[in-house]
A = this chain, B = another copy of it.
Amino acid sequence: MEEKVKLSMLCEFYGKLLTKKQFEFIDDYCNNDLSLSEIAENNNITRQAVRDIIKKGEKKLFEYEEKLMFMKRTLNQEKRIEKVLLELTKIQKDYSDKQISNVLESIKKELNCLV
């Protein structure tokens, strides 16, 4: 997984445990694609200060994931559900019975809410 993407995902999971600044800067860097210099300019601080705040936040995010593993678990779970969805679609194709197709559709809808 690309590093920025991973950081952005970790921030989605654990961002509420960061300080406001850590969250904002990581969000700007990963999701709004701003450079460290741009973030520094927007906040009237040095590029090095921005870098330090991001690094500190990043370290916390990785520590939370190491302990709690919510991201890993969620990604595994999504993979399993996607596999199930594929199997359901396969059965739908093999069996043209309208009633069964409707039930399978409703199950897929339910499962799609989980990924």
Contacts and interface: CB of A to CB of B under 8 A. Distances in A.
A114 B70 CA distance: 13
Contact of A67 (B16, B84, B100): B16
Contacts of A16: 67-68
Interface of A: 13-14, 16-17, 64, 67-68, 70, 77, 80-81, 83-84, 87-88, 90-91, 94-95, 97, 100, 103-104, 106-107, 110-111, 113-114
12 contacts: A14-B68, A17-B64, A17-B68, A68-B70, A80-B114, A83-B110, A84-B107, A84-B110, A84-B111, A87-B106, A91-B103, A95-B100
A57 B107 CA distance: 40
